[in-house]
Amino acid sequence: MKLHPTGVVLWPDNKRVVVRPFISLDSTRVQDIIARALALSEPETEKQLLLVRADFDERHIDLDKSWLRHFEKVRPQIPAGERISEPRRLFIGALFSGEYALESAALFNPSIVPHPDQTRLGQGDLRFILSLRSTGEGHISSIQFRTGVIHHDHSIEIDKTTPFVTLPELNPKPTYHKRTFLDKLNEMGLENDWAASVMGRLGKTFLFDELDQSIQQAAPDEASAHTRDVQRTLECMHWLAESNYEIHFAPSSEISERIIFPVSRNESNGIED
């Protein structure tokens, strides 16, 4: 077998950035920042918002959506009864936002699958989706995508990458499939009577709350008989549930615009592809 270089090189681009929460763990610090934002007059708030928007807007799509999402994360720190206008909500959200350069350290681990859309192609051509692992500051890794075409003569064409990055919407109540969940538990060596008691109460699909309820109802005699095994099984069930989540991208977004960034506690150091 002869291997021929394609000449295709995928270079990381440190100008591609995502907006993510930038919130101090020190609640006093958070409250101080909010207090300063609340002390501004409405005209001054709108002026400052325009200045911040001018700095960030050209690098992002739907920046307001991100800022409002981040505002909701700090809303509990705002004094009760405080009426907040939309410009002020946006400004506070912006104060607790930061940019992250997804590819500033590396772009690697390509993996390729056929694209579901194989229309408008020449005879023998194949459109594909390429996934890549990108690593940025602090070596936090994420998953991003490219599209392209393998032509009938085996030449490869990569589509132009959008300069923008879009995060998906996270479904707060994902649906779990019992068969898959059981298979994963078995792979982890958690085949015991207590696990069977918990899973036996669940339907073919279930929600996290239903799993939690079934855990609470699990036979107490089983729990007391195998305390150590039960504790490990309980921890692993929660870990498994938190490791699996549902995300949704807007159908109108380009494939190369989409990014899967760490969202669960289990991904605090990045996503392993």
pLDDT digits (tens, 9 = 90+) for 107-161: 999 999 999 999 999 999 999 999 999 999 888 899 999 999 999 999 999 999 9
In whole angstroms, give the CA distance from residue 260 to residue 273. 11
Could you give the number of structural domains in the chain? 3
Dump pLDDT digits (tens) for 66-119.
999 999 999 999 998 889 999 999 999 999 999 999 999 999 999 999 999 999
62, part of any domain: yes
Residue 63 confidence (pLDDT):
94
> Do residue 199 and residue 74 come from a single domain?
no
Which residues, other chains included, contact 134 with Cβ-Cβ below 8 Å and sequence gap of 6+? Answer: 12, 102, 103, 106, 107, 141, 142, 143, 144
Residue 225 confidence (pLDDT):
47
Dump pLDDT digits (tens) for 197-247.
899 999 999 999 999 999 988 855 555 545 777 888 888 999 899 888 889
For the four alpha carbons of 214, 220, 225 and 226, in that order, the dihedral sign comes to positive
Among residues 101, 123, 152, which one ends one of the domains? Answer: 101
148, part of any domain: yes
Taking CB atoms within 8 Å and a gap of at least 24, the contacts of 156-160 are 156/6, 156/8, 158/8, 158/10, 158/130, 159/256, 160/256
Q: How far is CA 70 from CA 33, 41, 204, in A?
A: 14, 21, 35
Q: Where in the sequence is the domain holding 115, given as residue range(s)?
A: 106-163+251-267
> Do residue 137 and residue 157 come from a single domain?
yes
